[in-house]
Amino acid sequence: MNNSDLMTWSVFKAKLQEYPERILQFQYAEQKWVDASYHITEIKQAPIVSVDCGGVMNQWTEVVVQLWEPPKPEAERAMQVRKALSIVELVEKSLSLDPLATVKIEFGNSQFDTRQMYPAAFILNQDNLIVNLNPDFTQCKAIGRGKCC
């Protein structure tokens, strides 16, 4: 996966808007799912400014959607896409989210260290809209310019 493969906020949000009646599920590893009773605790927008090891400044923006599993799963509660979109709408009343920002999903639990992951694919399965997540990765931006340290 490279930067051009990363999903933007506008693409992510548009996909959600296609399926408001579905249950929104996240798969963070092979056969590992965020518990259906998760909460979206916050949506962050992070402008990033960095200088790579070749001395070139880089800038981009990330929108990070943070998920939290309650200590005791709430069997009767599952996040419908419509509910997730209502949270997005509430956030966007206060914070104008960059449509071109890279989307990351932040999640962790007692068996999985908290990390940020990229939405890689949307899968329709019965009443669910499943978001498959890929781990974040490191890269050397200078290597393609022959300037890597």
Q: What is the pTM of this model?
A: 0.91
d(CA 101, CA 82): 22
- The token pair at 35 is 């518990």
Letter for the amino acid at 112? F
Closest C-alpha among 15, 66, 45 to residue 7: 15
Domain residue limits at 80: 3-145
Contact 66, 45 (CB under 8 A): no
Count structural domains, the chain: 1
Q: In the 8-state DSSP scheme, what is residue 109?
A: E
Sheet arrangement for strand 39-51: 32-33, 23-29, 128-135, 112-125, 102-109, 57-68, 39-51
Residue pLDDT tens, the chain, 149 long: 456 679 999 999 999 999 999 999 999 999 999 999 999 999 999 999 999 998 999 999 999 999 999 988 777 779 999 999 999 999 999 999 999 999 999 999 989 999 999 999 999 999 999 999 998 888 888 887 877 77
Is the C-alpha dihedral spanning 78, 81, 82, 85 positive or negative? positive
